[in-house]
Chains A and B, each alone.
Chain A
Amino acid sequence: MPLLEVSDLRIRLQTHHGAADAVRGIDFTLQRGETLGLVGESGCGKSLTALALMGLLPEAAQASGSILLDGQELLGLDDAALCRLRGNRIGMVFQEPMTALNPVHPIGDQVAEPLRLHRGMDRAAARREALALLDRVGIADAARRLDAYPHQFSGGQRQRITIAMALACGPDLLIADEPTTALDVTVQQQILNLINDLVAERAMALILISHDLGVISQNADRMLVMYGGSVVESGPTQAVFSTMAHPYTRGLFAARPQLAPRRPGERTRLSTIAGTVPELADLPAGCPFAGRCGFTVAACHTTPPPPVQLGTLGAGHMARCIRLDAMPATPEDSA
């Protein structure tokens, strides 16, 4: 049995433009020790999916479908039951460590809090455990800094502290939503390596959310490319990057500025995806990418494209596009 099984997850939000289907039928499974990458631009529904897993959706949101954690249905659980799961079996690392930490409490108390709450540890035991955790995530001289406040740490150190908090109760599932977006690039690599090492060490499952294809390619075993609330392409990271079947995946890849060599004085334009990310409230009836895609035909606008299996059977590589035949066999920019 997979650790996590999400099927036909749909989330409807109430906005001031009326109801908006922000997530439109997502399916995936996740095994222990595996890393799943979610990649997409703002408004594609990747963060909402993570919030649904944590039971942290806004009040007015309606979720349907099914989220099974070890066979237990999470959708529709009451608050008390969710509280027992959050921070205990599911840990989360957020984008902005300064807002995730409470500025008026010492970090030692904050890391110890889930231990006291879920494990019923006494103050002294929780403090010892917090010290061990902070030491593991690489806070130098942790014993002396247990009583320091968040503002006394750098951004990278703060993110290490939130990772220690998320890990405190030894969760089965760790969700990291853009964990390095607010950090310097040089620190980004260290934090991702730390998360990876911890995932391997404790056989956790990791859901890594990022807008950066590079981060996903380096860290995920399997990936979902999301656009307009649906998964447009999914599969093993290796397969997705070697084929890049969906036009949106290709567009996203080609639009990245790169450190590739170029002749002095030469100016190359980046290839762009025309138009902008659609508003959730007025997503088209058919393929969400139809308005921006170079391969669109009339049928794209009318019905949502069904999933098409790619590569060898059982590899699990899928793209939702009815124009796959019209696409050039290899992504032109991957050379």
Chain B
Amino acid sequence: MNSTTTTDLIADSAYPISATGQFDSNPPTDSPPPLLQVTQLARHYPLPRTQLFQPPQQVKALQGVDFTVAAGHSLGIVGESGSGKSTLARLVMALDTPTAGAVHLLGRNLHRLPAAELRHARRDFQMVFQDPYGSLDPHHPVERIVTEPLQAQGATSRAEQREQAAQALAQVGLRSTDLGKYPHEFSGGQRQRIAIARALITRPRLIVADEPVSALDVSVQAQVLNLMLDLQQQFGITYLLISHDLAVVNHLCGEVLVLYQGRIVERGTPQELFHHAQHPYTRALVNAVPRIEPGRARARRTLMAGKAPRPMV
């Protein structure tokens, strides 16, 4: 699309052009360049055409999203379903093409890389999905699942892959004897550890985690969140954590973006959002986190009793 390219150029022109006229991917700043830089990112999806002579309507899933993440830090993205969280994850992972805007990882515009280079660059960014039952192929042993990113990168020997897989499993607290087992032999929490091992095996700089603990039991959720913290301290991994749960984000991230209808409506530390939320949606989100508050319902019901009951038809 022509319009795409034009908008893309406008977005890119926010970067300084060096004296030679060449595009300078490392704008001079006081601090080191961010690991991940997202500029004016937008994604529109066309709806099915309803009228023959009119252009189809569009859903603006994401509009004008800007943020940067420094290496070794974590950014949380919160929002309700349909707010564009997963679209953002897909764009950062270069699994989808933006309508406008750019994603720079380590200074490279991911959506402008030739296919071969993008494939090679993928070792730097990996993803952990929500459902460890759906994201691991039940027909493959753990070894094949965990080494698949290495195979996609090509050119390492089988023995070397096996050793790296054993190492990745050890990092997430599983045993190398687990390599020959199949996903159904593991519990939900262990499966999520396998998914994390698969993401770790290419030694990525960035891990995009889309609701990594929401399918897990509470006691196991804590184990996986602790593991993610430990791995960050050990390897300096940067997380882009997508969640609907403000408490989970608070635990892992120093900064949070609140997405609402495809736009960033608020950003700050979890504490700032918790205490001084500005946007009404953020306030609703903070208030909706269930707290330990015995007797709230009874208090509500006593209130209710004062009201005249609605007549039943």
| B28 beta carbon closer than 8 Å to chain A | no
| 0/1 interface trace, chain A 23-47, chain B, CB 8 Å (1 if under) | 0000000000001000001100000
A238–B293 Cα distance when bound, in Å, is 9
| A255 beta carbon closer than 8 Å to chain B | yes
Q: Say whether A273 contacts B219, CB under 8 Å.
A: yes
Question: Min CB distance, A283 to chain B, in Å?
Answer: 15
| B148 beta carbon closer than 8 Å to chain A | no
Q: Say whether A237 contacts B295, CB under 8 Å.
A: yes
Q: Say whether B288 contacts A264, CB under 8 Å.
A: no
A121–B133 Cα distance when bound, in Å, is 45
Q: Say whether B250 contacts A272, CB under 8 Å.
A: no
Q: Say whether A257 contacts B294, CB under 8 Å.
A: no
Taking CB atoms, residues of chain B closer than 8 Å to A269 are: 226, 229
Instruction: Give the bracket for the number of chain B residues in contact with chain A.
Output: 35 or more
A237–B223 Cα distance when bound, in Å, is 27
| A303 beta carbon closer than 8 Å to chain B | no
Chain A residue at smallest Cβ distance from B275: A261
Q: Say whether B300 contacts A184, CB under 8 Å.
A: no
Q: Say whether B297 contacts A196, CB under 8 Å.
A: yes
The verdict on A41 contacting B219 (CB below 8 Å), with A257-B245, A270-B225 known, is: yes
The verdict on A201 contacting B304 (CB below 8 Å), with A35-B297, A41-B218 known, is: yes
Top 10 A-B pairs, shortest CB-CB distance: A214-B290, A255-B222, A270-B222, A41-B217, A132-B313, A273-B219, A184-B80, A185-B288, A257-B251, A218-B296
Chain B residue at smallest Cβ distance from A273: B219
| B291 beta carbon closer than 8 Å to chain A | yes
Question: Min CB distance, B153 to chain A, in Å?
Answer: 31
A41–B312 Cα distance when bound, in Å, is 38
Chain A residue at smallest Cβ distance from B189: A276
Chain A residue at smallest Cβ distance from B229: A267
| A322 beta carbon closer than 8 Å to chain B | no
Chain A residue at smallest Cβ distance from B304: A200
Q: Say whether B189 contacts A264, CB under 8 Å.
A: no
| A217 beta carbon closer than 8 Å to chain B | yes
Taking CB atoms, residues of chain B closer than 8 Å to A241 are: 292, 294
Question: Min CB distance, B98 to chain A, in Å?
Answer: 25
A193–B303 Cα distance when bound, in Å, is 12
A41–B233 Cα distance when bound, in Å, is 30
The verdict on A197 contacting B251 (CB below 8 Å), with A186-B80, A270-B222 known, is: no
Chain B residue at smallest Cβ distance from A240: B294
Question: Min CB distance, B282 to chain A, in Å?
Answer: 10
Question: Of the candidates B187, B247, B284, B305, which one forms a contact with A186 in the assembled complex, judged by CB atoms under 8 Å apart?
Answer: B284
A257–B225 Cα distance when bound, in Å, is 9
The verdict on A188 contacting B290 (CB below 8 Å), with A259-B246, A271-B222 known, is: yes
| A123 beta carbon closer than 8 Å to chain B | no
A41–B221 Cα distance when bound, in Å, is 11
A199–B304 Cα distance when bound, in Å, is 11
| 0/1 interface trace, chain B 246-290, chain A, CB 8 Å (1 if under) | 111011001000000000000001110011000001001111111
| A277 beta carbon closer than 8 Å to chain B | yes
The verdict on A259 contacting B187 (CB below 8 Å), with A188-B288, A197-B304 known, is: no
A124–B226 Cα distance when bound, in Å, is 58
| B244 beta carbon closer than 8 Å to chain A | yes
| B65 beta carbon closer than 8 Å to chain A | no
Question: Min CB distance, B230 to chain A, in Å?
Answer: 8
Taking CB atoms, residues of chain A closer than 8 Å to B226 are: 269-270, 272
Q: Say whether A214 contacts B297, CB under 8 Å.
A: no
Question: Min CB distance, A261 to chain B, in Å?
Answer: 6
Taking CB atoms, residues of chain B closer than 8 Å to A213 are: 218, 292
A284–B263 Cα distance when bound, in Å, is 52
